[in-house]
């Protein structure tokens, strides 16, 4: 076996140590650049899941640019408290031009910046970074970290027929995890899927909070190759350590009548959630019933159903 002479080995060891120390200090400096816990801006990362699969044999599936999963993860560095606000794909928002449109079409009709602005306008919460991921990148990321523990609440299957899951607790592999977050065959459709995604993301963030920095950074870059080192450092600081995780969804109701079917946000309930997330209020969100033609029994109050 080849052995370096003592002096060379010592110099090499010192050099490696200095490089690692420099990398660690850089990450710490970026994570601390937003300042302390109190009085500093909240850092928000919007996860935008594209309804596309580059590996699919279906051309429409390969090219679909709808963002059918939207989750705003937000935290203050050093607080250990992470809030996740799930946004239903049919949420009605002002379009880039005139009139209204579903929020999942903003990126396809404009760009990532327009999507970020739409989410900020809807929620009142700043968005500092956007992670764009498709089915393939999602699968690769789950495979990279190993698996995601999850209690499957009902039998789940994929439209392609490649995954079938009975109810019960299990550790999801990459294809099973994708099936869980896609599934929407239930009375509330996409709203039911949002509730399942709340539970899934809670478990995924818990897994991420136990990853070493190098693997965490690799997972972030697998999700989105364009993510910056600063954004990785901010995300890492948000969940290391993870003290509290709170899940919310945009409260509202389904529209009725002719035309497109929208999820109509309950502005009163959404303001209450925003106040809670931003630390401006300790009040729990209260759903304000719509005084229109909405079907009240289908309304959703945005409360955490992930426990």
Taking all residues of the chain, what is their mean pLDDT, rounded to a whole number?
84
Residue 242: what pLDDT? 95
Q: Going by C-beta distance under 8 Å and a sequence separation of 6 or more, which residues neighbour residue 20?
A: none
Residue 286: what pLDDT? 54
> What sign does the dihedral 133-137-139-144 (CA atoms) show?
negative
What is the DSSP secondary structure assignment for residue 283, as one 8-state letter? P
Give the class (CATH, top level) of 41-134+205-298: alpha beta
- Please report, for the chain, the start and end positions of each structural domain, with discontinuous segments joined by +: 41-134+205-298
Q: What is the pTM of this model?
A: 0.84
Residue 297: what pLDDT? 60
- Report the relative pairing of strands 100-102 and 129-133 from DSSP bridges: unpaired
Residue tagged 């080849």 (tokens): 2
What is the number of residues in the chain? 307
Q: Helix H segments across 71-134? A: 106-109, 112-123
CB 171 within 8 A of CB 188: no
pLDDT digits (tens, 9 = 90+) for 15-32: 434 343 443 444 444 444
């Amino acid at each position: 076996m080849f052995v370096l002479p003592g002096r060379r080995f010592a110099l090499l060891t010192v050099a490696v140590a200095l490089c690692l120390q420099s990398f660690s200090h850089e990450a710490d400096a970026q994570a601390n650049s937003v300042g302390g816990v109190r009085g500093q801006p909240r850092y928000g990362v919007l996860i935008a899941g594209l309804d596309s699969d580059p590996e699919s044999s279906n051309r429409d599936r390969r090219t679909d640019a709808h963002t059918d999963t939207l989750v705003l993860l937000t935290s203050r560095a050093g607080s250990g408290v992470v809030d996740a606000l799930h946004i239903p794909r049919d949420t009605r928002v002002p379009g880039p031009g005139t009139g209204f449109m579903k929020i999942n079409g903003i990126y396809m009709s404009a760009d990532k910046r327009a999507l970020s602005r739409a989410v900020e306008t809807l929620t009142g919460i700043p968005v500092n970074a956007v992670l764009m991921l498709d089915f393939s990148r999602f699968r690769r990321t789950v495979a990279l970290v190993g698996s995601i523990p999850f209690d499957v609440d009902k039998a789940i299957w994929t439209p392609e027929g490649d995954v079938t899951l009975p109810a019960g607790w299990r550790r999801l592999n990459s294809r099973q995890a994708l099936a869980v977050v896609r599934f929407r065959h239930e009375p509330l459709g996409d709203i039911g899927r949002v509730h399942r995604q709340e539970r899934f993301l809670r478990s995924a963030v818990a897994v991420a909070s136990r990853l070493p920095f190098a693997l965490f950074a690799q997972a972030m870059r697998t999700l989105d190759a364009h993510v910056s080192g600063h954004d990785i450092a901010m995300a890492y600081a948000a969940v290391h350590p993870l003290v509290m995780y709170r899940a919310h969804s945009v409260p509202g109701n389904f529209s009725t009548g002719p035309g497109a079917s929208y999820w109509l946000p309950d502005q009163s309930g959404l303001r209450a959630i925003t106040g809670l997330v931003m630390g401006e209020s300790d009040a729990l969100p209260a759903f304000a019933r719509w005084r229109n033609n909405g079907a009240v029994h289908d309304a959703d109050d945005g409360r955490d159903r992930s426990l």
